[in-house]
Structure 1
Amino acid sequence: MDVDRRNFFRGAAVGAAGTALTGGVLIGGARVDARAAQRSEPTEESSYPFDGQHQAGILRPATKQPSASFTAFDVTAKTRGELIALLKTLTDRARMLTRGGPVTDTGVGGPPLDSAVLGGAIPSDGLTVTVAVGSSLFDDRFGLKKLAPLRLTPMTVFPNDFPDPAWTGGDLLVQLCANNPDTIHHAIRDITRHTRAGMQVRWKIQGYNSPPRPTGTPRNLLGFKDGTANPTNAESQQLIWVDDPAEPAWTHGGSYQVVRLIRMLVEFWDRISINEQEGIFGRRRDSGAPLDGNVENDTPDYGADPDGRIIPLDAHIRLANPRTPDTANQRIVRRSYNYDLGVDPNGNIAAGHIFVAFQQDIRRQFEAIQTRLIDEPLVDYVQPFGGGYFLALPGVTDSTDWYARQLLS
């Protein structure tokens, strides 16, 4: 890789992350398929249970919920009692929004109870609300320090990262996923309206997933299929739920969540050859097959290619998942989305990837993988700039339960 080109790419990315994103460039260029705009009445198939051992929106395939948003909040509640009230309100709003139903207005004399973005009745529309806590919640404000999750820390900054404080961290993270973007907009607007006294938005980003093109796994904005090697549902159960006896008991049934906001330098990426792109990923761009395979779900045979003659030794898929017995328990469940923030002040496209992963142990899983990816060839075309580490709370078990009850009771 030419050194001057590398520095040029990095300079462009830093400017975009540090200036355009902090300046709040609005999402642009969104187009909605006319068929998706024809909303049907809520059905049993379009709603997911809110109550349960685990929160919804963790194992649900992201492809079944193509619209999403990730909003980090700073808690402004002053006392433990106010924090409890906040989380009870958040639970009530999440339960109502995911269930859907009619809205009763107050009449013309007062503010409406609902924005009416979705009309007179709220459709469930496949909405899930997943709430997670950051390490900053366990400071001295609420007496929670001794109950902090064992493996929850501020997000590690890796080489090739350029974190922007305005897009990093947060006491709480609210992940919303649904069938349509107006459902996401309606939900976050409702939640912020009812919780403004207890928490304030720190950062927010909207995401989307495309349908498979033409088949298989959807593609990221670099044009490659993304998430092909995700563990199956049975494997996922062994990799994501917190169950370590050393962890505080209230965390059991939760999952450590990593969110990384990654700018993709799509215009520079488009200038390199397909052969170079495929070597960087280790997969065919058209089919998603590994370079030593024929179809997307073929398993790469690294043992038959020890020198990297077919799949380069520094290819993304080879570093991320070496497929050895020693790295089997390092796999993560990915649930990522694309984003588009329009353009930066230099006129470059400000788009990329919302990397989302769930696991039992961030150090054992995500950080082990990310350490192997340091200085991979792909770093010339991507720029991580924000996100955070969180603990997705255990599920709300029934109508008398609420988010983080076992932590705060």
Structure 2
Amino acid sequence: MQKNTFRHQPDSAATPEDNPASPGRRHGMKMLLAGGLGIASIGASKLASAASNCTHDYNQAVDYWGSHQAGVITPDTKEAIFVTFNVTTREKAQLQQLLQLISQRIAYLTRPQQLTTGKNDQLPPVESGLLGHNLSPDSLTITVAVGASLFDQRFGLAKHKPKKLIPMPRFPNDRLEKNWCGGDLSIQFCANSRESVIYALRDLISHCNKLMVPVWKMDGFLPARDIDRHSTAINLFGFKDGTGNAPITDSKLMDELVWVTANNHEPAWCLGGSYQAIRLIRFNLEFWDRTPLEDQENDFGRYKISGAPIGMQHEMDDPQMNLDPHGDRILFDSHMRRAEPRIPERHVAKLRRRSFSYSLGILPSGQLDMGLIFVAYQNDLKKGFIDTQNRLNGEPLERYIKPFGGGFFFVLPGMARENDYLGKQLLEG
């Protein structure tokens, strides 16, 4: 593999104190051990005190109203569930009923509620009981998108299909598994605790199971310490994931990258929506953990600990790729340079990522089944995910990753008025 010369500098020559066998070193170790128990005791006490003062705020609510759905550019949460469903009816009126039901449950689940199990013990409880007596929002968002398969002949919607919406194709490094691909509907649940997303999923299924059936489900998470500190989340490779994302506070940039506007020349009902690309990517972590640090950093184009571009000091530093025309510092094959070359402009990748890690179990080979739920939102699927993936084809990271599922979907516009429901513009427009 091509190497670069901008690496970590070695430490200065060792002093006698650096030698574990030196008398000074041994004396220092004795003193450290002598005070170790006391220090540990004080440290444990401080940690316990800090833990007792740190409470999870379950009352945070994200408004589901608006021209856009929540959960696309909403700040990251710690937990997520991604589920796709196939619609079981062939009647347009019943599809409308399904989307109305889903919209009603979103309105209910994302606001504080007093829960009840019902008064008739001869009937099933009206809700699962997982959250006790009170439903707190816990930053819950539920985001609904439709797949290309919904625009077949069942509902007469073919002429209304978003122009760029297609079934997800197989890219060169993929090993797609049918049971992990596609679906008529994609529903993304995000919140800051595991029980909140599970409760919402069970609620939605219990109310809608006569009209839709699950196809595949994947649970995701982000490191709690990164979310609490509002810092870039670290993926299972140990690298920061999402440093180059466009800021959600820049509404003009969000219109340029994420939301469908009149400039995209889509069907009128699509305005305010977004294309969703989901890719389930398995990591070969055992192989990765045996890979030298220099190769890992070259593959990403960033330092592992700081997240800074190679040759720079801080995570958000400009990589200045225009000053590195021969790839001596940030290799041409690096993930960073292929995904977002920044030449001739910033945000060459016309998308915004919202990915989560997953941990599923053990593979038949005995290896860990862990990896990434890659999620990207864009207003043009071709200029966004597809073009970006084509630039990444053949990158060195492919030795450690294997995409095996996911799909392309279109996020329905939001509910902007009191009598709206998700998909109303599509079905009634």
Which structure: larger Rg?
A: 2
The correspondence for 2:183, drawn from 170, 178, 190, is 170
TM-score relative to the length of structure 1: 0.88
The correspondence for 1:299, drawn from 299, 318, 336, is 318
Structure 2 partner of 1:122: 135
Instruction: Extract unaligned runs of 5+ from structure 2.
Output: 2-47
Q: Does 1:104 align with 2:116?
A: yes
Structure 2 partner of 1:189: 202
User: What aligned pairs does 1:13-92 form with structure 2 within 5 A after superposition?
Assistant: 42-43=58-59, 46-62=60-76, 65-92=77-104
The correspondence for 2:278, drawn from 259, 273, 276, is 259
Structure 2 letter corresponding to 1:216 = S
* Residue-by-residue CA offset, 1:192-227 (whole Å, 9 max, x unaligned): 111111100000000000032998311100000000
* Aligned-residue CA RMSD (Å): 1.9
Structure 1 partner of 2:235: 220
Structure 2 partner of 1:152: 165
2:376 alignment partner, SS class: strand
Change (3 A) 1:120 1:39: farther
TM-superposed CA distance for 1:325, in Å, is: 2.9
TM-superposed CA distance for 1:41, in Å, is: 7.0
Distance of 2:360 and 2:144 partners within structure 1: 24
Q: Does 1:240 align with 2:258?
A: yes
* Residue-by-residue CA offset, 1:65-105 (whole Å, 9 max, x unaligned): 11001000011012001101111111111110111311233
Structure 2 letter corresponding to 1:365 = G
Structure 2 letter corresponding to 1:94 = I
Q: Which region of structure 1 is more displaced relative to structure 2, 353-362 or 323-332?
A: 323-332
* Residue-by-residue CA offset, 1:9-66 (whole Å, 9 max, x unaligned): xxxxxxxxxxxxxxxxxxxxxxxx9969x976753xx00111111000111122xx11
Q: Is the CA contact (8 Å cut-off) linking 1:292 and 1:301 kept in structure 2? A: no
Larger RCO, structure (CA 8 Å, separation 6 or more): 1
Distance of 2:98 and 2:154 partners within structure 1: 15
Q: Is the CA contact (8 Å cut-off) linking 2:259 and 2:274 kept in structure 1? A: yes
Aligned length: 373
Structure 1 partner of 2:218: 205
Structure 2 letter corresponding to 1:171 = D
Distance of 1:329 and 1:133 partners within structure 2: 26
Q: Does 1:141 align with 2:154?
A: yes
TM-superposed CA distance for 1:330, in Å, is: 3.3
Distance of 2:241 and 2:182 partners within structure 1: 25
1:330 alignment partner, SS class: coil
Distance of 1:148 and 1:323 partners within structure 2: 32
Instruction: Extract unaligned runs of 5+ from structure 1.
Output: 2-32
Distance of 2:106 and 2:404 partners within structure 1: 29
Structure 2 partner of 1:4: none
Change (3 A) 1:267 1:41: closer
Structure 1 partner of 2:14: none
Q: Which region of structure 1 is more displaced relative to structure 2, 215-224 or 251-260?
A: 215-224
The correspondence for 1:337, drawn from 346, 351, 356, is 356
Structure 1 partner of 2:394: 375
Q: Is the CA contact (8 Å cut-off) linking 2:412 and 2:423 kept in structure 1? A: yes
1:402 alignment partner, SS class: coil
Distance of 2:373 and 2:57 partners within structure 1: 30
Change (3 A) 1:325 1:305: closer
User: Between the two proteins, what is the percent identity of the paired residues?
Assistant: 42
1:340 alignment partner, SS class: strand
Q: Is the CA contact (8 Å cut-off) linking 2:341 and 2:348 kept in structure 1? A: no
Distance of 2:237 and 2:175 partners within structure 1: 20
Structure 2 letter corresponding to 1:229 = G
Distance of 2:265 and 2:332 partners within structure 1: 37
Structure 1 letter corresponding to 2:236 = L
The correspondence for 2:302, drawn from 269, 273, 283, is 283
